[in-house]
Structure 1
Amino acid sequence: MKGFRTNQMIAVDWKPNKQDKTPIYRQIVEYISEKIAAGDWPIGSRLPSQRDMAQTFGVNRSTVVSAMEELISYGILESDFGGGTRVASNTWSIRMSQPPDWNKYIRSGFFRPNLDTIQTINHMEFEPGYIRIGTGELSPELYPGKLVSKIFRRMPERIPSLGYLGPLGLPELGEALAQWLAVNQGIEAKASNIMVASGSLQGLQLVSVCMLKRGSNIYTEAPSYLKSLQVFQSAEMCLHGVQMDEEGLEYWKIKDASNDSLLYTIPSYHNPTGTVMSERRRGEVMNFCQSRQMPILEDDAYGQLWFDEKPPKSLKARDKTGSVIYMGTISKTMAPGLRIGWVVGPEAVVYRLGDVKMQTDYGASSVSQWMMTELLTSGDYDIYLETLRRELKARRDNALTSLSQYFKGIATWNKPSGGFYIWLCLKHRVFMDRVFADALKAGILLNPGNMYDYGENHAIRLSYAYADPEDLRKALKILADIIEKHQKR
């Protein structure tokens, strides 16, 4: 593969220029010296093994050894005999000035780092040559370029200026969202109940920093997308996974429900399992939480991506007491780069969130907000969604056909009725980290299920939304062979 990461965050994605007259080992010395001098590789960071660096650089291992020995002699690197080679904390060469110990500052930040696997995924998703079978994003092939161009042609007549907007966002978008939510979701809300965010993930971040106190209990489905994030953990809150059955969250297993707790749920086309919470279960969850004054954070990122019939109405549509905070987004339905989401809740809540948002980014993109307003008020968004649902359904069917062909004896899976994901559960125990690594070597980037769960997990989140259908078929065939090899060990 083109680059690699260690668990200490050092990344190598460079190759020496073999046409240059400068000796290869000298180019390596200069490259590593420059990375350390710039502070990119903090003191104490561990370098990849010499074998891995030789493979990435495309050189003999002896060349890397020569470069390492010279850097060690300068005091830039040190070898700790068993722990690999690290950036030294002692005297630098005379060519370099002493940078600050950035590791000390990095460790001091309150926001926790991503899991190692997620850091690798985030890095490799931007490298060419990989088939991305877990990416929770629409394929570039599904990007509505013609529709976006049409909307942008109209916008100069609509936009009076592109200045900063108020704490809740563009008023015209708030009004358009209120009308659209009433018609499509049955959610009765005024513009004053809606805050425009830079994606629903920012909504989560804002709730975590300004609505809950340290030590609060956050309950969510197990597995859950929320587990793959560090949003609430970084705010020193306690995440608890609650098992699901075919109807959704088994709410009766929540042991410490109170108004010091919060339930985070994705009831429609759950991420990562694709489960849809039933009509009956939604009513029961609402009654359970309201009787205990336990607020609900409802993430509805996929609710509009149904295939044959709409899911049951949202929890927010059932909310008569202001106990549900609802989040929506166009990151999954249109394009994540537009950075538009919305939070719906009581006025006091959204004004509090809006105040904190103004302290962080002073508002989501004005251009994107005007564009979303035009999409909603023109009716073009609803027409577009109809086409998108057909495309996603065809991709789902292609994925299911491939699974039946290659995974019949080694895994089970669900048939999602909407959204992006198939939850692929392996029949036998395997080391998922090794499967992930072997798949990466084969040019396949996947999302292991243990990223989302609270315990041991032998599943894979399969997305049919991103990869080309034929590429997905090829990747699944290769992945099946990899898994069978590991199951025989």
Structure 2
Amino acid sequence: MSWKPNRSSSQSLYEQIKSWMITKINQGEWVIGEKLPTQRKLAEQLEVNRSTIIQVLEELKAEGILASKQGGYTYVKSKSWNQFIKNQPKLNWSRTINQGLYKSNLDTIQKVNEYEFSPGIIRLGTGEMSPDLMPAKLIKNAIVNIQLDSTNLGYSESQGDLVLRESLSKHLLKRGLHTSPENILIVSGALQALQLISLGLLDAKSYIFYDRPSYLPSIPSVHSLYCAQLKDNQNKGFYYTIPTLNNPTGDILNIEERKEILSSTNMPIIEDDVYHELTFEHAPNALKSFDHDGQVIYIGSVSKVISPGLRIGWVVAPTLVINRLADLKMQLDYGCSTLSQQVISNLLNTAAYDDHVTHLRQQLKERASFMENLLEKLFSPISTWNTPKGGYYIWIKFEKPVITKSLFQNLLKKNILINPGYLYYPKDYYHLRLSFAYCTFEEMEHGLSLLYEEVMKVI
């Protein structure tokens, strides 16, 4: 026997010998039923006290791996892996699911996700633009212009396609951002960017702070249980903000307010800027454009302007942060679709992209005006709202707490799907996020009429 325990190891002799015996059994060197050397012989061969051998053998017997026969010898009863499997409790999927790292989403959010694609449903609060507004022809032309070869069909670089990152570094100059391709990471939309930040940069005791209301509470996969309102006495974590067309309120911060955010905290700041191209009037430059210390992690996406189905977004951050997030992304999905990246790269380099954005803004402005006129007719005596400055939403506040789960359920029975305020701030039964980006004019009129009927029953 050549193996001996290492007396210089931090691991005890007992632990080393037990591990060695289990290894010999699992590797088939000691087979089931095989008689082991006597305690005295093992002690001599391993140059340890007999009491140490007895301790190991008794432990392995207790675990069901070894057993003793009448006559005094010890033999192999089972492999440790087999015994481990045999001793596992009976499968209980409910218990297993509840013990998972991430918790289930809010019941209302699950129902929204379930019913959004039901035939005949009117989506009054959805965060998606109408298929009629998506530039299908533009995307088809971009696909035709892609130069496909074998290299285009494989995985892209860990940070994403270099050509796309070069295109984005030029495109982001419109937001006042001066960044190099090396400081851009391509991700599968803004949601993945938030998840990567949560998993890769936050520890278990950190928080994501946010101004109320916010859509962060509706995505518990972003550092579950660690989203919280910003408080003066808490400063460990990240501060999340949407300075341009906040979701769900539609607010736009002015330049002074943006600079105030930077000067008032030393926390890293996450700037979500996915709606900025949809402002009806000129908006200030991105918050990150005022950042000279690498404090801001900037997130952008094409989901709200081109198509959510292409699943392309980006992160702009210091090199250390980008390298960390890129490594984590490669562990999770090995990169975004190379075809989608090429489509977006092709679009950004054409005048047709700017033409589409101009047309989309005009269409959204007309839809917003139509919805606001309906609100004036139906809800002006019992609610208030701000005229939208762009984006998708009107954040309406009722005089009484009528936007309850019961109202949600009653409207769902009538094929009307709403996004209640309590999705964006706990126990907020006064607010409602209405979207003018998805429904037709006829659907808006019908849906808001039914909403009015249900509200008036409880007001």
* TM-score of the superposed pair, with normalisation by structure 1: 0.74
AA aligned opposite 1:202: Q
2 CA distance for matches of 1:474 and 1:457? 23
1 CA distance for matches of 2:355 and 2:129? 17
1 CA distance for matches of 2:352 and 2:108? 39
> How do 1:15-414 residues align onto structure 2 when only pairs under 5 Å count?
100-156=91-147, 160-182=151-173, 184-234=174-224, 237=226, 239-242=227-230, 254-258=231-235, 260-289=236-265, 293-307=266-280, 309-414=281-386
Q: What is the Cα deviation at residue 379 of structure 1?
A: 3.0
SS at match of 1:363: coil
After superposition, the Cα gap between the structure-2 partners of 1:418 and 1:333, relative to the gap in structure 1 and judged at 3 Å, is same
AA aligned opposite 1:286: L
1 CA distance for matches of 2:254 and 2:404? 31
CA distances 1:173-222 after superposition (whole Å, capped 9, x unpaired): 1110001101x101011001000001110000000001011121221011
1 CA distance for matches of 2:333 and 2:322? 16
After superposition, the Cα gap between the structure-2 partners of 1:159 and 1:327, relative to the gap in structure 1 and judged at 3 Å, is farther
1 CA distance for matches of 2:264 and 2:222? 23
Q: Is the 8 A contact 1:241 1:454 kept in 2?
A: no
In structure 1, which of residues 414, 422, 428 is the aligned counterpart of residue 400 of structure 2? 428
2 CA distance for matches of 1:461 and 1:426? 12
1 CA distance for matches of 2:156 and 2:98? 35
1 CA distance for matches of 2:106 and 2:246? 21
AA aligned opposite 1:386: T
2 CA distance for matches of 1:255 and 1:296? 16
2 CA distance for matches of 1:211 and 1:298? 15
1 CA distance for matches of 2:159 and 2:450? 48
SS at match of 1:164: coil
Q: What is the Cα deviation at residue 391 of structure 1?
A: 0.6
AA aligned opposite 2:277: Q
Q: What is the Cα deviation at residue 157 of structure 1?
A: 5.8
AA aligned opposite 1:104: R
- For these two proteins, the number of residue pairs brought into alignment is 370
AA aligned opposite 1:436: F
State the structure with more CA Rg: 2
2 CA distance for matches of 1:227 and 1:159? 42
After superposition, the Cα gap between the structure-2 partners of 1:348 and 1:132, relative to the gap in structure 1 and judged at 3 Å, is same
> Could you list the runs of 5+ residues in structure 2 that have no partner in the other structure?
1-89
Report the counterpart of residue 93 of structure 1 in structure 2. none
Q: Is the 8 A contact 1:204 1:231 kept in 2?
A: no
Q: What is the Cα deviation at residue 159 of structure 1?
A: 8.2
2 CA distance for matches of 1:312 and 1:169? 28
SS at match of 1:174: helix
Q: What is the Cα deviation at residue 385 of structure 1?
A: 0.5
Q: Is the 8 A contact 1:196 1:341 kept in 2?
A: yes
SS at match of 1:218: strand
Q: What is the Cα deviation at residue 160 of structure 1?
A: 4.7
2 CA distance for matches of 1:215 and 1:455? 25
Report the counterpart of residue 79 of structure 1 in structure 2. none
After superposition, the Cα gap between the structure-2 partners of 1:316 and 1:431, relative to the gap in structure 1 and judged at 3 Å, is closer
SS at match of 1:392: helix
Q: What is the Cα deviation at residue 380 of structure 1?
A: 2.5
1 CA distance for matches of 2:123 and 2:171? 33
Q: Is the 8 A contact 1:306 1:417 kept in 2?
A: yes
AA aligned opposite 1:301: V
Q: What is the Cα deviation at residue 145 of structure 1?
A: 1.5
> Share of identical aligned residues, percent?
40
Q: Is the 8 A contact 2:403 2:429 kept in 1?
A: no
In structure 2, which of residues 419, 422, 425 is the aligned counterpart of residue 447 of structure 1? 419
* TM-score of the superposed pair, with normalisation by structure 2: 0.78
After superposition, the Cα gap between the structure-2 partners of 1:439 and 1:395, relative to the gap in structure 1 and judged at 3 Å, is same
Segment of structure 1 superposing worse, 343-352 or 370-379:
370-379
SS at match of 1:222: coil
RMSD: 1.5
After superposition, the Cα gap between the structure-2 partners of 1:159 and 1:133, relative to the gap in structure 1 and judged at 3 Å, is farther
AA aligned opposite 2:267: M
CA distances 1:398-455 after superposition (whole Å, capped 9, x unpaired): 1101101111112111111111110011111226111111111111000001110034
